[in-house]
Amino acid sequence: MMARLWQIPNLFLLLALIAQVALYPFLQVQAHGKAALAVIDWVILVLALRAARSSGSESRLGYILLVPAIVLNAVVAFWPNHFAIIASLLAQCAFHTFVIVCLLRYILFDDEMTLDELFASASLYVLMAFAFSFLLAAVEQLAPGSFYINPANNPDGVIGWWDLVYFSFTCLTSVGFGEITPVSDYARSVVMIEQMSGVLFLAIVISRLISMHSGRQRGGR
């Protein structure tokens, strides 16, 4: 049973991403919460590289992007500073983008939609939200004040990374609750790209599923 589940790597990746979203509010207030969150980040990075199903030179590129993402994540977790934070955010964004491209190719260039590819579609969507959150956080680090949060929702006036993760998910899903607003032109550009990406991704995946279903029906006839 476990051997069969291990052949669905995107299931583990999706569960790890959901676990991170669920556990972050609890771990961030604990004494050793940052260390635990760093470990979860490393697990997700490794699972993402395995789920990407890259090979050859592409696999080497994945490891090249993975190593600095892990190292800089550890540096920020234990010795945070402005430049290390920016470098870590950009490294994370680059690695997540690499995995997203690999997963998108995995989903689109196959004649049969497998169970792992369905989980890959879900994982890809969540990874897109995280990739943009790293980019949004980098924008805020480089140009402080790029985002405004309603004081009722942010009494301390601090914009944290998790605030931008939440904002990224609302942008990608086109929910747009409105308590967080992009103020600078840089932030608005990233938000517009994310909104377009979310809509296009759903359109691509749905059209892909419909075309594969139609192909099965034609084959049956």
Burial class (CB in 10 A: 0-12, 13-18, 19+), 173: middle
User: Could you tell me the sign of the dihedral formed by the alpha carbons of 168, 117, 107, 47, in that order?
Assistant: positive
Alpha-carbon distance of 88 to 76, in angstroms, equals 7
**Pick among 1.10.287.70, 3.40.50.300, 1.10.580.10, 1.10.287.130: CATH of 2-220:** 1.10.287.70
Which has more pLDDT, 190 or 10? 190
- Ordered by start, the domain boundaries in the chain are 2-220
From the list 185, 186, 177, 183, the residue with the least C-alpha distance to 152 is 177
For residue 184, the model assigns a pLDDT of: 95
Which has more pLDDT, 202 or 34? 202
Rg of the chain in Å (alpha carbons): 18
Task: Report the pLDDT averaged over residues 37-45.
Answer: 88
Record the pTM. 0.89
**Could you report the per-residue pLDDT of 110-126, keeping only the tens digit for each?**
777 778 888 888 999 99
Alpha-carbon distance of 135 to 203, in angstroms, equals 23
Task: Report the pLDDT averaged over residues 81-88.
Answer: 93
3-state helix, strand, coil in the chain (%, to 5): 75, 5, 20
Alpha-carbon distance of 106 to 104, in angstroms, equals 5
